[in-house]
DNA sequence: GCCGGGTGGGTTTTT
DNA sequence: CCCACCCGGC
C-alpha cells in the first residue's frame, strides 16, 4: 500500500519521518489523524514491530478510530492505541509491585474521589463550609497535574491552621487511596511517572518495549503526561507530538500548551511540520472560525485555507427564548435532511450539558431519534454506582469506599453511627475494613441490634464471594442482584420523583455486562476498568442526530453543525472570567465548535433562557461581533426581548462584572435599560440596540429626560454609561 | 435506623 | 430545574 499517495507535501514529510523527535502542528481539519495513522502504518511497513508503537490519544473514541484505521492500512497489524489513563492503567496492572502496590487495584472516578474526600473531611473534623470537599478535590487534582515550579496554593476559604490541615488532608488522601488499593485518575498518571523515575529496571524494560511513541492532541496534555512520554522515549528519542495550540480547551484541568515550547527546548533538533491546508470545511466557515481567534493573546497566527470554495454563509439565528430555539433546531434537522444531509452527519452542540434537555424534548416531540455523547452519565446514576460498588468489592476487597457505599444498600439496619465506629475501629487497628467484617470483629460498643445487622451483612458478603469470586461481570451481577434483592428494594420504594427509571438502568447495566462477558470475554476487573475509564457506550448510528458538548466534539466532524446557546455567560461562560486567560480559552472553544462543520454551520441565540428554573434574559455572545459580515447571514429579531423588571434586577451585578477585567467590550455594557448620559441631551434610558453583533455599526435608541427619543450610532455618539452606584464609567466608543 | 419532604445552592467543560 | 443535605416523624 502506498502510504504517502494523496498526501500533501507537509503531510508526506510527517508520514515518512522514521526516527527522532517530530512535532506536527496541525490546524483543524488538516488531516492530522490521517498523518498519524499513515505514519504508524509506515513504521510498521519499515519493520517496526506493531507492539513497539504506542499511540496516545485524548479520548477512547479517538483511540478506537485510529486503531481501526491502522488495521486497514496494515492489513491487520494493530499498534497499541490508548488514552493516557488507559495506558497508565495497563502499565500499572503489570508493574505496580515496583511501587509496593498491588496489581489488582481499582480505579476511582471523580465522584468516588469526592466521596473519599468527604469522608476524610469528616474524619478530620474539618468544617466543610470552609474546607469544601469539592474545592479540596479540585485542589488535589490541580496540584498533582501542575508543573513542579508552579505548585498551586489553596485559594479557597481560610481558617486557623488551614495550611496545616490541608497538608494533613493531602497526606491522608494519598494514604487512604493506597490503603484502598485504588488509584484515582490523577494518580494513575503521577504514580506511573514516579515509578518510571524511581525504578530503572522498569523504565529500561518499557523503553525497550516501546520504541516509538506518538501523542495526539498534544496541546491538551498536562505536565505529568509529557513527563511520561518523555521518560518512555528518553533512549529512542522517537517521540512524535501532534496538536494545535488553537484547540487547547482543557487548561482548566491542567493541560498546558506550553508543552510545545518544552518539547522544542527538550528536542532542539526536532523536525517540525505545520499543516495549514484544511480539507474539511468551506471557506466561509473557516473565516468565521479564524476571526474568533484573531485577538487571542500570544497566538501564532495560522491561516487555515481550503480548496472547497466559499460554501454557504454561516447562519446566525436569534430566537425569543430557549423553547423557540429548541423547536426550531429540531425542525432544522428535518429541513437539513430535506437538503440531503444524512441524519448521522448532523450534530447539535452546546457549551454546557444542561442545554441538551430542551433540545432533547423538542426532538422527542417530533419523534426524531438522537444520541447524546457523554452527558449526564449512565455510570454516574446511583443505582448503577451501587451495583458497581458490589462488583468493585468482589474485584478488590480492600476498596473501602466501595464497601462503605454498599454497606447499607439496600438498607439493612446499618446506620451511619455503626458504619463510622466500624471504620474507626479498622483505622485504629490498622486492618482493612473488609477483614474486620470477614472476622466479625465488631467493636464492643455496638448494640446487639447493630451487631446482628452486621452479621447478616458479613454472611451476605461470604455468600457473594463463594458464588461470584471468579465469575465474569454478568454472572457476578446476577449473584449480587439475587443475593441482595437490590432490584426489589428499588421497586418497593416510592417510584415518583425519579425521572429515569432505575429498574431500566439496572437492566441496561446487566445487558451491558452480559455483552462484555459473552461477546468480548471481558473479566470482571477489565469490565470495571472500562466502566470508569470509558465514557461512551453507543456507537454511531445512521438513524440518529448527535448531541454533544463542544468539549466532547473535539476531533470529530459533521456535515452540519448547529451550535446552540451562543450567548454571553455561556460562550464565553460566566465563570471563564474567573481565571486568567479564561476568555481566550472560550474563544478557542468556539473555534473548535465551528471547525467541526464541513458544509453548514448554524449558531443560535435565545433572548431568554431558563436557568436554574428561572427564566433569565440573555445576550448574544460578544464573540459574534468578530465574525466577518461577508461570511455570515443573520436571521431573527436583532433586538433582544427584555422583561424590564428582570433587567433591573440583574443590572447591578452585571455591570460590576462587566467592568471588572474584560477589555473585550464596552458596547456590551450598553443594553436596553442602561442609563446613559449624552453631552448635549443629558441623561437617558436605552430602549433598543440594533446591529451590534453583525459587524455593522451598532445603533442605539435612547429616551432622554426631555422626553425625546433619539437613535444614535454608538461609535460616534459621545455616550457615557451611568453605573448603578452612580459612579460614572467612562466608556470610549 | 428509615424515609420522605423541605430547603438552599449551583459543578462549564472530562479522563 | 435538579441535586445534596438536613430534619423531624415514625
Beta partners for A243?
A25
Q: Which residue approaches B4 most closely, CA to C1'? A: A494
CB-based contact A386:A405 (threshold 8 Å): yes
Pairing status of strand A632-635 against strand A314-321: parallel
Instruction: Tell me the whole-structure pTM to 2 decimals.
Output: 0.84
Chain B nucleotides with an atom closer than 7 Å to a protein C-beta: 1-5, 9-15
| pLDDT (tens digit per residue) in A406-434 | 999 999 999 988 998 999 899 889 999 99
Counting residues of chain A whose pLDDT is more than 90, the rounded percentage is 67
CB-based contact A729:A720 (threshold 8 Å): yes
Residue A708 pLDDT more than 90?
Answer: no
Average pLDDT estimate for A279-287:
96
Which residues are in reach of strand C, CB within 7 A?
A 118, 133, 357, 376, 499, 610, 612-614
C1' nearest to CA of A222: which nucleotide? B15
Q: Which of A10, A112, A217, A383 is catalytic?
A: A217
The DSSP 8-state label assigned to residue A569 in this structure reads: B
pLDDT attached to residue A706: 66
| pLDDT (tens digit per residue) in A114-148 | 999 999 998 898 988 889 999 999 999 999 999 99
Residue A730 pLDDT more than 90?
Answer: no
Our answer to whether residue A217 is catalytic in this structure is yes
CA distance A271 to A13: 9
**Per the omega criterion (within 30 degrees of 0), is the bond before A521 cis?**
no
Banded model confidence at residue A3, pLDDT cuts 50, 70, 90: confident
pLDDT attached to residue A659: 31
Asked if A134 CB < 7 A from strand B, the reply is: yes
Average pLDDT estimate for A6-12:
92
Q: Which of A13, A32, A529, A600 is catalytic?
A: A32
| pLDDT (tens digit per residue) in A512-524 | 899 999 988 999 9
Residue A705 pLDDT more than 90?
Answer: no
C1' nearest to CA of A610: which nucleotide? C1
The DSSP 8-state label assigned to residue A614 in this structure reads: E
**Residue A695: burial class (beta carbons within 10 Å; 0-12, 13-18, 19+):** middle
Our answer to whether residue A32 is catalytic in this structure is yes
Name the grid cell of A554. 473535539
Our answer to whether residue A95 is catalytic in this structure is no
Residue A662: alpha-carbon gap to chain centroid: 25
**Residue A99: burial class (beta carbons within 10 Å; 0-12, 13-18, 19+):** middle
pLDDT attached to residue A505: 86
| pLDDT (tens digit per residue) in A439-479 | 999 998 999 989 999 999 999 999 999 999 889 999 999 99
Q: How far is the CA of A486 from the C1' of C9 (A)?
A: 26
CB-based contact A269:A20 (threshold 8 Å): yes
pLDDT attached to residue A729: 38
Our answer to whether residue A323 is catalytic in this structure is no
CA distance A475 to A200: 41
pLDDT attached to residue A580: 83
Beta partners for A601?
A561
pLDDT attached to residue A637: 66
Counting residues of chain A whose pLDDT is more than 70, the rounded percentage is 87
Bigger pLDDT: A640 vs A403:
A403
Asked if A644 CB < 7 A from strand B, the reply is: no
CB-based contact A601:A285 (threshold 8 Å): yes
Q: Which of A77-81, A204-208, A646-650 has the highest mean pLDDT?
A: A204-208
Our answer to whether residue A33 is catalytic in this structure is yes
Q: Which of A247, A282, A401, A720 is catalytic?
A: A247
pLDDT attached to residue A665: 41
| pLDDT (tens digit per residue) in A153-190 | 998 888 888 999 999 999 999 999 999 999 999 999 99
Sign (positive or negative) of CA dihedral A628, A629, A630, A633: positive
CB-based contact A275:A304 (threshold 8 Å): no
Our answer to whether residue A264 is catalytic in this structure is no
- For residue A642, give the nearest of A617, A667, A621, A624 by alpha carbon: A617
CA distance A583 to A571: 9
pLDDT attached to residue A534: 78
- Total residues found in chain A within this entry: 733
Query: Which segments of A521-643 does DSSP mark as H helices, in order?
Result: 524-533, 582-594
CB-based contact A292:A627 (threshold 8 Å): yes
Q: How far is the CA of A565 from the C1' of B4 (A)?
A: 37
Burial A244-261 (b: 16+ CB within 10 A, else e): bbbbbbbbeebbbbbbbe
Name the grid cell of A95. 508493574
CA distance A305 to A309: 10
Q: Which of A109, A191, A216, A626 is catalytic?
A: A216
Residue A234 pLDDT more than 60?
Answer: yes
How many beta carbons lie within 10 A of that of residue A6, not counting itself?
Answer: 11
Beta partners for A597?
A558
Q: Which of A465-469, A577-581, A696-700 has the highest mean pLDDT?
A: A465-469
Residue A74 pLDDT more than 60?
Answer: yes
Residue A701 pLDDT more than 90?
Answer: no
How many beta carbons lie within 10 A of that of residue A681, not counting itself?
Answer: 17
| pLDDT (tens digit per residue) in A372-404 | 887 667 888 889 999 999 999 999 999 999 999
Chain C nucleotides with an atom closer than 7 Å to a protein C-beta: 1-3, 5
Beta partners for A192?
none
pLDDT attached to residue A60: 87
Residue A731 pLDDT more than 60?
Answer: no
Q: How far is the CA of A416 from the C1' of C6 (A)?
A: 14
- Least confidently predicted of A65-74, A591-600, A637-646: A637-646
CA distance A271 to A565: 41
Residue whose entry in the numeric block shows the C-alpha cell 490508548? A82
Q: Which residue approaches B12 most closely, CA to C1'? A: A352
Residue A698 pLDDT more than 70?
Answer: no
Q: How far is the CA of A450 from the C1' of C10 (A)?
A: 19
CB-based contact A57:A158 (threshold 8 Å): no
Q: Which residue approaches C1 most closely, CA to C1'? A: A613
C1' nearest to CA of A576: which nucleotide? B12
Bigger pLDDT: A660 vs A603:
A603
Asked if A533 CB < 7 A from strand B, the reply is: yes
Residue A617 pLDDT more than 70?
Answer: yes
Taking the CA atoms of residue A79, residue A84, residue A86 and residue A92 in that order, the dihedral angle to the nearest 10 degrees is 100
Amino acid at each position: 500500500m502506498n502510504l504517502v499517495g494523496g498526501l500533501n507535501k507537509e503531510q508526506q514529510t510527517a508520514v515518512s519521518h522514521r526516527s527522532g523527535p517530530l512535532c506536527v502542528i496541525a490546524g483543524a481539519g488538516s488531516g492530522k489523524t490521517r498523518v498519524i495513522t499513515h505514519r504508524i502504518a509506515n513504521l510498521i511497513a519499515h519493520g517496526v514491530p506493531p507492539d513497539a508503537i504506542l499511540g496516545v490519544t485524548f479520548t477512547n473514541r479517538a483511540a478506537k478510530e485510529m486503531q481501526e484505521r491502522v488495521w486497514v492500512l496494515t492489513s491487520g497489524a494493530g499498534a497499541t492505541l490508548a488514552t493516557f489513563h488507559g495506558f497508565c492503567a495497563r502499565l500499572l496492572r503489570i508493574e505496580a509491585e515496583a511501587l509496593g502496590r498491588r496489581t489488582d487495584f481499582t480505579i476511582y472516578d471523580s465522584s468516588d474521589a469526592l466521596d473519599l474526600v468527604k469522608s476524610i473531611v469528616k474524619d478530620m473534623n474539618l468544617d466543610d463550609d470552609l474546607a469544601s470537599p469539592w474545592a479540596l478535590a479540585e485542589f488535589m487534582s490541580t496540584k498533582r497535574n501542575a508543573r513542579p515550579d508552579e505548585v498551586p496554593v489553596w485559594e479557597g476559604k481560610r481558617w486557623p491552621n488551614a495550611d496545616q490541615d490541608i497538608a494533613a488532608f493531602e497526606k491522608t488522601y494519598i494514604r487512604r487511596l493506597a490503603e484502598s488499593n485504588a488509584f484515582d485518575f490523577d494518580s494513575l498518571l503521577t504514580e506511573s511517572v514516579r515509578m518510571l523515575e524511581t525504578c530503572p529496571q522498569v523504565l529500561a524494560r518499557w523503553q525497550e518495549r516501546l520504541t516509538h511513541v506518538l501523542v495526539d492532541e498534544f496541546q491538551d496534555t498536562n505536565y505529568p503526561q509529557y513527563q511520561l512520554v518523555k521518560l518512555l522515549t528518553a533512549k529512542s528519542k522517537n517521540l512524535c507530538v501532534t496538536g494545535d495550540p488553537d484547540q487547547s480547551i482543557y487548561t482548566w484541568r491542567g493541560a498546558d500548551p506550553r508543552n510545545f515550547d518544552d518539547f522544542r527546548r527538550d528536542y532542539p533538533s526536532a523536525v517540525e511540520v505545520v499543516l495549514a491546508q484544511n480539507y474539511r470545511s468551506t471557506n466561509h466557515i473557516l473565516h468565521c472560525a479564524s476571526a474568533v481567534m484573531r485577538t487571542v493573546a500570544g497566538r501564532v497566527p495560522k491561516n487555515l485555507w481550503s480548496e472547497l470554495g466559499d460554501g454557504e454563509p454561516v447562519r446566525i439565528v436569534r430566537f425569543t427564548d430557549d423553547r423557540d430555539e429548541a423547536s426550531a433546531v429540531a425542525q432544522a434537522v428535518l429541513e437539513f435532511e430535506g437538503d440531503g444531509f444524512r441524519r448521522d452527519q448532523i450534530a447539535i452542540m452546546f457549551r454546557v450539558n444542561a442545554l441538551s434537555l430542551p433540545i432533547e424534548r423538542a426532538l422527542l416531540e417530533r419523534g426524531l431519534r438522537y444520541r447524546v455523547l457523554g452527558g449526564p452519565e449512565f455510570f454516574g446514576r446511583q443505582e448503577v454506582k451501587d451495583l458497581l460498588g458490589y462488583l468493585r468489592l468482589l474485584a478488590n476487597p480492600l476498596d473501602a469506599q466501595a464497601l462503605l457505599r454498599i454497606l447499607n444498600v439496600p438498607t439493612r439496619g446499618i446506620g451511619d453511627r455503626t458504619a463510622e465506629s466500624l471504620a474507626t475501629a479498622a483505622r485504629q487497628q490498622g486492618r482493612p475494613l473488609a477483614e474486620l467484617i470477614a472476622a466479625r470483629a465488631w467493636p464492643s460498643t455496638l448494640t446487639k441490634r447493630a451487631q446482628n445487622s452486621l452479621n447478616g451483612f458479613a454472611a451476605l458478603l461470604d455468600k457473594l464471594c463463594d458464588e461470584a469470586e471468579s465469575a465474569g461481570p454478568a454472572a457476578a451481577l446476577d449473584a449480587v442482584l439475587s443475593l441482595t434483592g437490590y432490584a426489589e428494594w428499588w421497586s418497593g420504594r416510592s417510584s415518583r420523583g425519579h425521572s429515569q427509571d432505575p429498574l431500566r438502568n439496572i437492566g441496561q447495566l446487566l445487558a451491558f455486562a452480559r455483552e462484555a462477558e459473552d461477546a468480548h470475554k471481558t473479566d470482571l476487573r477489565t469490565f470495571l476498568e472500562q466502566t470508569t475509564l470509558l465514557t461512551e457506550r453507543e456507537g454511531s448510528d445512521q438513524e440518529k442526530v448527535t448531541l454533544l458538548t463542544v468539549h466532547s466534539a473535539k476531533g470529530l466532524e459533521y456535515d452540519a453543525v448547529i451550535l446552540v446557546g451562543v450567548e454571553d455567560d455561556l460562550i464565553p461562560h460566566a465563570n471563564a472570567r474567573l481565571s486568567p486567560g479564561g476568555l481566550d480559552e472560550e474563544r478557542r472553544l468556539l473555534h473548535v465548535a465551528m471547525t467541526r462543520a464541513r458544509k453548514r454551520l448554524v449558531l443560535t441565540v435565545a433572548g431568554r433562557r431558563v436557568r436554574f428554573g428561572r427564566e433569565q434574559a440573555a445576550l448574544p455572545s460578544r464573540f459574534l461581533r468578530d465574525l466577518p459580515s461577508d461570511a455570515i447571514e443573520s436571521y431573527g429579531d436583532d433586538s433582544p426581548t427584555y422583561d424590564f423588571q428582570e433587567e433591573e434586577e440583574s443590572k447591578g451585578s452585571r455591570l460590576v462584572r462587566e467592568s471588572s477585567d474584560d477589555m473585550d467590550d464596552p458596547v456590551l455594557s450598553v443594553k436596553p435599560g442602561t442609563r446613559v448620559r449624552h453631552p448635549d441631551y443629558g441623561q437617558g434610558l436605552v430602549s433598543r440596540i440594533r446591529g451590534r453583533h453583525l459587524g455593522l455599526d451598532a445603533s442605539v435608541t435612547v429616551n432622554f429626560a426631555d422626553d425625546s427619543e433619539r437613535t444614535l450610532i454608538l461609535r460616534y455618539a459621545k455616550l457615557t454609561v451611568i453605573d448603578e452606584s452612580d459612579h460614572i464609567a467612562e466608556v470610549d466608543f
